[in-house]
A and B are shown apart, each in its own frame.
Chain A
Amino acid sequence: MSIQTMLMQLLGGFGQTVIIFLLTLVISLPLGMLVYFGRASRLKPVSALVKVYISIMRGTPLMLQLLLWYFGPFYLWGANIGGYKFTAIIIGCSVNYAAYFAEIYRSGIESIPKGQYEAAQLLGYSKAQTFIHIILPQVIKIVMPSVTNEVITLVKDTSLVYSVSYVEMLAVAKQISAAQTTIFPLVAAGVFYYIFNVIVAFLMERIEKRLNYYH
C-alpha cells in the first residue's frame, strides 16, 4: 500500500472521528446545561436523580457504557440493532459528556458570589434576566479552560467506539497495520490526533481571548 493510499484511508477514518466528535459536542454542551439545572433543582427527587445519573456516568468506563447502549436494546427487548450502531455511539458519548459538562458548569456558576444575585434583585432583575445577562457571561469565561480540557479528551475518547466495532481512524490504522504488518499507520494516526487537538486548543484559546471582557 502506498503512503498516499494509506493517508487517504486514514483521512476517511478521520472523517468518522470528526463526525462523532462534533455531534457529541453539539449535543452534550447544551445537554450539560440541562443536567446542571436538574442538579441544582429545588425539587429533591429531581436533583437526587440527576446526582445518581452523574455519578454513574462518571463512575463507569465510557467503553462499557457504549457496549450497553449498543447491545442493550437487543438484550432488553429483542430489538433488531442492525442499523443502530451510530445512533448508540452518539447517545452514549453525548450522555456521558453531558454529565462532565454539567459539573464544569456547576463549578462556574457556584463560584459567582451571592452578592451579585442580591444586587441584581435589588435592581429589579428577574431570575431569568439575572442568569442570562449577569451570571452566564461570567460563567462562560470561568469554565472555558475546563471545557477545553474536556473537549480535547473527547477527541481522543472517540477511539473508544472500537469496542462496538465502529470503524473510525484508530480502527482503520489498526486494520492497515495488520495487513501491512507495520506500526507506521498507528504513528500516522497519532499525528492526526495531535494536529486535530492542536487546532482545537488554538480555537478554544481564540474564543477565550474573545471573551476577555470586563478586564
Chain B
Amino acid sequence: MKKMLVFALTAVMAFSMTACGAKQEAAAPAEEAVASEEEVAEEVEEEVEEVAEEAEEAEEAAELKSAVEDGIFTVGFDAEYPPYGYMDDNGEYTGFDLELAQAVCDLEGWELEKKPINWDAKDAELNAYAIDCIWNGFTMNGREDDYTFSVPYVNNSQVIVVSSESGIKTLADLEGKVVGVQQASAALDVLTDEESDMKELGDSLGEIKQFSDYNTAFTELQAGALDGLAIDIGVAKYQLNSRGEGFEMLEEALNAEEYAVGFRLGDTEMADIINADLAKLMEDGTIMKLAEKYEIADMISLE
C-alpha cells in the first residue's frame, strides 16, 4: 500500500514537473517529501532524475530548431493584418514585415517559412517552438518582460477610428462610448493596463469590446454597434484607404510606441543576427524601398 502511494505521488510530481518545466528546482522538494519513507526514497529519486533528463533532452532538441540550424526561419504572423502581413491579390502571403523577413533570409541564406497564426495563440506557438519569432507589426512597448526583442524598426501609434457621422472629434468625446480593440492587442493594453497613461480614458469608456479581426470590427463600426476602434495607425490607414468614405481617424493618438521582432525570452542570439541584418538592409536602402511600397515610409525608426 505504502509503495503504491509513493508511486502515485511520484507520478503526480513527475507530471507537474514536466508540465511547468522547472526540473531541477522541483527535484529538491521531491526528496524532502519522501524523506521519512527511507526504503523507497531512492527509487523516487531515480525516477525523478529520469524524467528530468528526458525533459532536458526534449528541450535541447527544441532549442536546435530555434537557432535556425535547419536553415528554415519560421515567422509567425497574423494573416489578417495588412499592410504588415496579409494575403495579396495572387493569394501569396505578403506585407511589409514578411518582405523584410524575406530580405533577412536572403542575407543569411535561410529559407523563410511564413506561418499564419491565430493571434490569441501567439505565445503558445512561440514557446512551443512552432515558430521562431513573431514578426508582424508587433508592438514591443510594455512587452519587454515577456519577449526578447530586436531593435525597433517602425514608429507606431495607437489611434482611434470613428464613423464620420458619429460626431466624435476628440478623445474626450469618447466618454461613455463603446470602443473596439483586437484581442491580445497593444491597443487593449494601452486602454486597460494599470501603468498606461490612457488607463483613465479606458475607464471612462462605456465598454471595451474585443474582436478577433478588423473586418468584423469595421463592419460593426459601420453598422453602429461600435462607436470607435482603437487600432494601429498603419492598419488604420490601410483600412481607411481601401474602405473609402465614412470613417475618420482622430488626430490625437493614444500613445507612441515601436514595432520590433519578438523572440522567445532569452533568445538573444537570434535577436543579434536580425539586428545586424536590419542595420545592413537599412544601409543599402532595402528597408526604405519596402516602406515606400507599403506607404509607411514616414514611420521607419531605423537610422
Contacts and interface: CB of A to CB of B under 8 A. Distances in A.
**Do A and B actually bind?**
yes
A75 B59 CA distance: 11
B121 A178 contact: no
A162 interface: yes
A178 B219 contact: no
Interface in B221-248: 239, 242-243
A77 B58 contact: yes
B124 A71 contact: yes
Interface string A1-40: 1100100110010000000000000000000000000000
Interface string B245-261: 00000000000000000
- How many A residues touch the partner, as a band? 20 to 34
Nearest to B119: A165
A9 B214 CA distance: 20
A79 B82 contact: no
A78 interface: yes
A175 B116 contact: yes
A47 B218 CA distance: 52
B116 A178 contact: no
A94 B65 CA distance: 30
B215 A79 contact: no
Contacts of B118: 162-165
Interface stretch (A51-59, A80-88, A134-142, A151-159): A80-88
A162 B214 CA distance: 17
- How many B residues touch the partner, as a band? 35 or more
A194 interface: no
A1 B94 CA distance: 14
Interface string A158-192: 00001111010001101111111101000000000
A16 B293 CA distance: 33
A202 interface: no
Contact of A181 (B79, B117, B242): B242
Contacts of B65: 80, 82
B129 interface: yes
Contact of A9 (B15, B55, B61, B91): B91
Contacts of A8: 91
A80 B89 contact: no
Contacts of A12: 91
Interface of B: 15, 18-19, 21, 54-55, 58-59, 61-62, 65, 74, 79-82, 86-91, 115-118, 121, 124-125, 127-130, 213-215, 218-219, 239, 242-243
